[in-house]
Amino acid sequence: MSVPTAHNAAKQGDIAKTVLMPGDPLRAKFIAENFLEEITCYNEVRGMLGFTGLYKGERVSVQGHGMGIPSVGIYTYELFNFYDVDTIIRVGSSGAISPNVKIMDLVFAMGACTDSSYADQYALPGTYAPIASFDLLRTAVQVAEEMGKDYHVGNVLSSDFFYKDVGSALDWDKMSVLAVEMEAAALYMNAVKAKKNALTILTVSDELHSGKELPAHDRQVSFTTMMEIALETAIRCQT
């Protein structure tokens, strides 16, 4: 398929080899304006803002991917397969499932359980287990430790349901799933199918186990530790 696409106005060369992707395009704008230099906006289609700039002299892009597996599935598929992107690091919010995970904690998604049927397209004779790229995960953990930040590493749940009629994401606690979000599983599947690299780094915005939650504005602008770890991981893994 040729570019630009129906969802992305970027031309070949506009997007860096490594892309940070929050769900919220306003968080993408915040990252670009507060962490990158010499930024250019390459996409405004459907409000899904995308920017390319320099972080510590290295070229990095940041773009929103929207909410849910269908949305992230489209945007990351196009970046990997049409724009020659090698690495995508999702920087997102999540709801804590484990009582040991609290608001503003960092979660590195080593694996992504899901209730989505996204993997059905591959016609595999079983249940596929989406996982992060090890080099990215190892580097992100190293960066967090160098920064003196606490973190959790493990399974998350990529759910198709924000509001669910029956059952609860809390049911996954019995399998030691740390937190729930809505995109990592599709990102990981798109990455491995394209033979590319992916990692999801999450900041906890609410606790399912207690009912505590952050206001919407804080979710856009207060997750700076996650952003710094993702950017440092990005430049270390592309040099």
Could you give the residue numbers annotated as active site? Answer: 206
Contact 115, 212 (CB under 8 A): no
Tally of domains in the chain: 1
Backbone angles phi, psi at 96, to 5 degrees: -70, 130
User: Is a pLDDT exceeding 90 seen at residue 222?
Assistant: no
Report yes or no on 9 lying in a domain.
no
Report the length, in residues, of the chain.
239
User: Per residue in 165-214, pLDDT tens?
Assistant: 878 999 999 999 999 999 999 999 999 999 999 999 999 999 999 999 98
Closest CA to 33 of 239, 220, 215: 220
pLDDT classification of 220: cutoffs 50, 70, 90:
low
Report yes or no on 82 lying in a domain.
yes
Report yes or no on 6 lying in a domain.
no
pLDDT, position 2: 79
**Domain CATH for 170:** 3.40.50.1580
CA angle 227, 230, 233 (to 5 degrees): 150
pLDDT, position 1: 66
Report yes or no on 152 lying in a domain.
yes
Backbone angles phi, psi at 203, to 5 degrees: -115, 135
- Residue 63, both tokens: 């773009």
Mean pLDDT of 21-49: 97
Closest CA to 181 of 158, 160, 162: 158
Domain with 180, as residue range(s), is: 18-237
